[in-house]
Chain A
Amino acid sequence: MAASRTALRRVLAELGAVWLAVIGLYAIASIVSPPMLQLGQVFNILQVASFLGVIALGQFVVVLSGGIDLSQAGVVTLTNIVATSVMLGEDTMILPAIAICVGLALVIGILNGAMVAVLGITPLVATLGMNALLFGSALVFTGGAPRGAGAPALDAIGNGTLGGVPVATLIWLVLAAMLWALMRQTVFGRWLYSVGGNARAAHMMGVPVERVTITAYALSTIMAAFGGLLLTAYVGNPSLGIGNQYLFTAVAAVVVGGAALSGGVGSVPATVGGAVFITVLGSFTNIVRVSTGAQFVIQGALILASVYAYRQFARRRP
């Protein structure tokens, strides 16, 4: 009986206790505003959550390795600027635009990973520096006044639905499922958990720690580029401020999902839950007409509270 209880607890840990918080918050939001219960509103929230959700998947991989990636915001902005400049409203340029953005993200991610894994720079400083560099590049590239436009055909991805479900959400869930499989069913995933859990021990057991770390940072920026592309498809325009909000919300989603910033602990479904929670919280605060400023305050408090709560929980576990 004790064994089945611990097994149940493990399943819950993998899925994420955060889903209980999502349900609770959604229930409260529905009481305050009954339209929240309509299916259309649910899909609305999922649509908005998709962008954050995809970016947070990448952040999760880096956090799992024991690092942090604050350059994702810059990648999202740069992707938006580059994609719209390459496409210039032409459908034929969609594939080149995607290829260029993902290629760029790959290079940035490898650079981030090399700074952390080879040069030994603190992840926070390395990626914060990279973020400034990327944002500056976007500014210099556009001269402060971005031109260009998304291709019309992308609208079907950004705003379209498939059987009522937003396409962006489907893409998010497919990416999440793939990442989940990568984390739990492959050697790379196992290595990543081991590097986050104890990098020196992993090294002593033959795990190629440096390569795993670099791959983690590359996955993070590639996910950020996917998020940026989805966002571009949704918005259709270039905007220099488009990525800024993800600097912290991506970390917040991962932390609320229960991943430990010290590395080695966390799961993909819980990170999905974290992104949903942050988005539901955002729309709830919109409903009750809370200002942008107050939303920032709540988000910050939420990061602190969940870090504290998960740490307490981990300490009490046998």
Chain B
Amino acid sequence: MSQHPAHTEKEAVPHVGGSAAPLLAVDAIHKRFPGVHALKGVSFEVHAGEIHALVGENGAGKSTLMRILAGVHSPDEGTIRIDGTAVTIGSPAEGLRLGIAMVYQDTRLAPTLDVAWNLALGHEPGGAVFIDRREMDYAARAALAAVGADIDPRRMAADLSRAERQQVEIARALARRARVLILDEPTSALTLTETERLMEILSDLRARGTGIVFISHRVPEVLALADRITVLKDGEVAGEVAAAAATPQQIVEMMVGRPIGLAFPPRAEDTGEVAACLRLTGDDDAAEIVLRRGIITGFAGLQDAGQSAAARALFGDTSVAYDIEVGDARFQPRGPADALASSVVYVPADRRGEGLSESHGIRENIALPFVDKWATKGVLATGREAAEVDQASRAIGVKAPDWETPLSALSGGNQQKVVFARWGLQTADVLVFDEPTQGVDVATKLELYRLIRDRASAGAAVAVISSDLVELIGLSDRIMVFSDGRPVREVDAATATEAGLLSLAVTGGRRNESRDSEAKGARRAQFGRYGPAALLLLLVAAIFTVTAANTDFFLTPRNLGSLAGQAAPLLFAALGQMAVILLGGIDLTVGPIISLVTTIASYLLAPDAPVPAAVGIAACLGAGLAVGALNAAVIVVFRIPDLVATLGTFSVVQGLALMVRPSPGGTLDPEIAAAITERVSRLPLAFIAVVLVFLLAEAILNRGRLGARLYALGGSAEAAAVAGIRGDRLRAMAYLFSGFMAAVAGLIIAARIGSGDPQAGSAFTLASVTAVVVGGTSVFGGVGTAAGTFLGAILVVLIQNVLNQFQVSAYWQYIWTGLLTIAAVAGHGLRSPDRRRAMAARARAVFRVTQAKNLEGET
């Protein structure tokens, strides 16, 4: 074994793996984003059989460095070496090939695929088209066993707990022979037992020679687990130490780079009266949250341990029930508007998602909650608005050329100042800041601390939620510790320590271990897949039975044959549409393509056609493919959203159809038409063909490589990217397929009507969407079966046929197609309890009379 010179200065650090070149090394990496120099020459290395922890505050550059290693970002300067050889990592999939696997904080599993698929995605065992499911399950069990995870490989990723998802991701990394495993804040959402289990797994992996990068800001945990610790601060390495020789104090001081406590404004001297009081409904053991005027109460706990839920309860979110008193009266806000009317303000952590509208200017963003209060009879008080905004912005020190500057042009810190300026205009009795300093530079942080303290000094009861315990201890007067969804203990901030809070946070909860029901397991998987189709089958069977009992003609072979003949084109078109909708898109050009194909057929497949029939048919199918290619180009290359894109191409293709044949006419060669509409003992050949195509499609979706890729991409673009799926190419293929299928449908229609008609397909755009959504495919992508789409299309055609039997005018067709589509999509939404609850809340919001009158006992 040859000694590598670059390695000699690290003698103090024990390496299990011995003395070769580092498994992974980065040297003098720089990364700049607009306005931020995120990494300033960072060097870092990890050896085989070593756990190297990377710690630092939020915004210190940990995540950026990890994204560079995982191939999400590319460095502006510096080199990455694997086994001493310089490499470039262009994408997450490439990183994985090089042996670097990342386990993200928010996991990258495809939510609508089961565990075994997720483990194998991109590397499934089996043939070129179909995978070997048994082998895949076997491999999945082996991979899960290797990390000691007891998870059924048939469970959907969406049904797993966070700890389980993490275990699956680690198992996947190892199954791909990853030699370097990067874990981003892996314990942030885990219970104590789950955390211990993870520690065991990681220790075991280390013993087997895996290099592990462990990102965390939990110092005690890091000291217990890691061999070496690198501290990042403001994009630079503040120091590297051997874990055995380090103390918590030393690490924390390197992280913050300042003596703790000095940078925070002084604590409150007096405690005011109680402004609000929250009790967790039906839980007598939980601590009572008491918010007093004049002081800052910190909410501490692991990620999602219930801090935000408590704050949101004040703002009318009822997903976690609290009994709340504000002042002396019971407080039951039905939404943010009620809370604001009672001087209760919650400032959410997700600034861009819930706090701001980035396309709008500073003035509009600051004034939004107040415009109705300043207005007279609904007319804006523009003068007052300008004055208030100007004063508030200046008071906070928002930096911008003027107050019309859009928020998208501001830095994170400046955006947060806009939020603070806004709430500076609200007299608040209770004021909750959720992660107020996230993504904010250090200088601005200090200003924000002062501003938060000022609000408390001015008499508000202030609560601050922060995952940065150092910040929380420094800023707060009292600290309420949350554990596993409930408040457990209030402590004095002046005497609190990080380790103390952390131990309360991980041990305080008691009823935590089995919060994930194992019940929704594998038995649900196949039922979940075919549930909508089964319901649809029952409906179709019922319609069949009732109609057959009431009419003589319905069950005759002739009528059934004609039913099948009508169904064939819609079935083809719907299958194409489904491929697109599975990816969360929509193809509005299905109808126009059918029209276009009939017009082309009426020339090229006419009795006196200038070309042979084969060429004519090829031209028709080629036209469909060409439209599919156009859609793909507009969406994938020019990045125009699917809806607008196909709205535009809809008009283009419809126009082309009208150009080819402005009005219905022409004839198809009767022989060709007869060949296309050929029947085998009354059953149209086209129907038999489409049944076979659907069988193949269902098999591919359920057991094929392509099917899993569609579900993965439709369910989560990030998950697909990590698995190495080329999303753009797949999306383009889906549109090509949809165009082709619509062209096949067009040929059948042309043969059935025997001529060309530029409006022949006009009903098919909606009908194809109807068939797909009625069949149980979600318009958001990632969920759906070919079996369901088949039955959906059959249902559409069946209803038409049945109404004919009962002599109902064909004009009703439009009405029930419309109703059926709406009902199917709405029904989808109602399937999940979460959505039902949200729907009920929105319905109540519509009918609420006024905001303030519903407050009980407001004074």
Listed in ascending order, the chain A residues whose CB lies under 8 Å from chain B are 2-3, 6, 10, 68, 114-115, 117-122, 124-126, 128-137, 139-140, 143-144, 185-191, 193-194, 197-198, 200-211, 214, 248, 251-252, 255, 260-262, 264-265, 291-301, 303-304, 307-308, 311, 317-318
- Contact check, A265 vs B846: say whether CB atoms are below 8 A apart: no
- Which residues, 98 to 116 on B, are CB-close (under 8 Å) to A? none
- Contact check, B356 vs A299: say whether CB atoms are below 8 A apart: no
Can you list 18 A-B contacts with CB-CB less than 8 angstroms, sorted by A residue number? A6-B401, A129-B818, A129-B821, A129-B825, A133-B818, A139-B811, A140-B815, A143-B811, A193-B364, A198-B353, A211-B846, A264-B360, A293-B654, A293-B659, A293-B660, A296-B652, A299-B651, A318-B409
Stretch at the interface among B18-26, B283-291, B372-380, B466-474: B372-380
- Which residues, 595 to 648 on B, are CB-close (under 8 Å) to A? 634, 638-641, 643-645, 647-648
- Contact check, B846 vs A210: say whether CB atoms are below 8 A apart: yes
- Contact check, A140 vs B811: say whether CB atoms are below 8 A apart: yes
12 new A-B contacts, CB < 8 A, other than A203-B336, A205-B340, are: A2-B401, A114-B846, A117-B846, A120-B829, A132-B817, A187-B375, A190-B371, A205-B369, A211-B846, A300-B650, A300-B652, A317-B406
A248 and B375 alpha carbons, distance in the complex (Å): 37
A126 and B828 alpha carbons, distance in the complex (Å): 13
Most buried by B among A136, A203, A317: A136
Q: Whole-angstrom distance from the CB of A216 to the nearest CB of chain B? A: 13
Of the candidates B359, B404, B656, B829, which one forms a contact with A10 in the assembled complex, judged by CB atoms under 8 Å apart?
A: B404
Of the candidates A132, A197, A248, A260, which one forms a contact with B766 in the assembled complex, judged by CB atoms under 8 Å apart?
A: A132
- Contact check, A304 vs B649: say whether CB atoms are below 8 A apart: yes
Of the candidates A204, A214, A293, A303, which one forms a contact with B658 in the assembled complex, judged by CB atoms under 8 Å apart?
A: A293
Q: Whole-angstrom distance from the CB of B73 to the nearest CB of chain A? A: 19
Q: Whole-angstrom distance from the CB of B428 to the nearest CB of chain A? A: 13
| CB-CB nearest in chain B for A304 | B648
A128 and B817 alpha carbons, distance in the complex (Å): 10
Of the candidates A68, A136, A144, A264, which one forms a contact with B357 in the assembled complex, judged by CB atoms under 8 Å apart?
A: A264
- Contact check, B357 vs A201: say whether CB atoms are below 8 A apart: yes
Of the candidates A126, A136, A190, which one forms a contact with B811 in the assembled complex, judged by CB atoms under 8 Å apart?
A: A136
| CB-CB nearest in chain B for A206 | B337
**Is B148 interfacial (CB 8 A cutoff)?**
no
**Is B809 interfacial (CB 8 A cutoff)?**
yes
- Contact check, A303 vs B651: say whether CB atoms are below 8 A apart: yes
Q: Which residues of chain A are near B638, meaning CB under 8 Å?
A: 304, 308
With A187-B380, A296-B651: A210-B812 Cβ-Cβ less than 8 Å = no
- Contact check, B809 vs A125: say whether CB atoms are below 8 A apart: no
Of the candidates B380, B586, B655, B846, which one forms a contact with A300 in the assembled complex, judged by CB atoms under 8 Å apart?
A: B655
- Contact check, B822 vs A3: say whether CB atoms are below 8 A apart: no
Q: Which residues of chain B are near A121, meaning CB under 8 Å?
A: 822, 825-826, 829
- Contact check, B842 vs A118: say whether CB atoms are below 8 A apart: yes
**Is B813 interfacial (CB 8 A cutoff)?**
yes
A174 and B815 alpha carbons, distance in the complex (Å): 35
A265 and B835 alpha carbons, distance in the complex (Å): 29
- Contact check, B829 vs A193: say whether CB atoms are below 8 A apart: no
| CB-CB nearest in chain B for A265 | B359
| CB-CB nearest in chain B for A144 | B811
Q: Which residues of chain B are near A261, meaning CB under 8 Å?
A: 641, 643-644
A144 and B809 alpha carbons, distance in the complex (Å): 10
- Contact check, A208 vs B845: say whether CB atoms are below 8 A apart: yes
With A119-B829, A264-B359: A301-B846 Cβ-Cβ less than 8 Å = no
- Contact check, B643 vs A68: say whether CB atoms are below 8 A apart: yes
**Is B773 interfacial (CB 8 A cutoff)?**
yes
Q: Whole-angstrom distance from the CB of A246 to the nearest CB of chain B? A: 13
Interface size class of B (residues with CB under 8 A): 35 or more
With A117-B846, A200-B354, A203-B335: A122-B659 Cβ-Cβ less than 8 Å = no
Q: Whole-angstrom distance from the CB of B727 to the nearest CB of chain A? A: 19
A126 and B829 alpha carbons, distance in the complex (Å): 13
- Contact check, B640 vs A128: say whether CB atoms are below 8 A apart: no
With A130-B822, A188-B378: A307-B371 Cβ-Cβ less than 8 Å = no
| CB-CB nearest in chain A for B758 | A293
With A261-B641, A308-B640, A318-B409: A115-B822 Cβ-Cβ less than 8 Å = yes
Q: Which residues of chain B are near A298, meaning CB under 8 Å?
A: 655
Q: Whole-angstrom distance from the CB of A64 to the nearest CB of chain B? A: 11
- Which residues, 34 to 73 on B, are CB-close (under 8 Å) to A? none
A307 and B825 alpha carbons, distance in the complex (Å): 28
Q: Which residues of chain A are near B357, meaning CB under 8 Å?
A: 194, 197-198, 201-202, 264
With A126-B825, A129-B766: A118-B651 Cβ-Cβ less than 8 Å = no
Q: Whole-angstrom distance from the CB of B408 to the nearest CB of chain A? A: 8
- Which residues, 354 to 413 on B, are CB-close (under 8 Å) to A? 354-360, 364, 367-369, 371-372, 375, 378-380, 382, 401-402, 404, 406, 409
- Contact check, A307 vs B404: say whether CB atoms are below 8 A apart: no
Q: Whole-angstrom distance from the CB of B70 to the nearest CB of chain A? A: 26
| CB-CB nearest in chain A for B813 | A136
Most buried by A among B358, B654, B814: B814
- Contact check, B839 vs A119: say whether CB atoms are below 8 A apart: yes
Q: Which residues of chain B are near A214, meaning CB under 8 Å?
A: 846
- Contact check, A200 vs B353: say whether CB atoms are below 8 A apart: yes
Of the candidates B368, B817, B826, which one forms a contact with A207 in the assembled complex, judged by CB atoms under 8 Å apart?
A: B368
Of the candidates B639, B653, B818, B848, which one forms a contact with A132 in the assembled complex, judged by CB atoms under 8 Å apart?
A: B818
**Is B662 interfacial (CB 8 A cutoff)?**
yes
- Contact check, A204 vs B378: say whether CB atoms are below 8 A apart: no
**Is B549 interfacial (CB 8 A cutoff)?**
no
A135 and B766 alpha carbons, distance in the complex (Å): 13
**Is B657 interfacial (CB 8 A cutoff)?**
yes
A189 and B357 alpha carbons, distance in the complex (Å): 15
Q: Whole-angstrom distance from the CB of A149 to the nearest CB of chain B? A: 22
- Contact check, A125 vs B821: say whether CB atoms are below 8 A apart: yes
A304 and B651 alpha carbons, distance in the complex (Å): 10
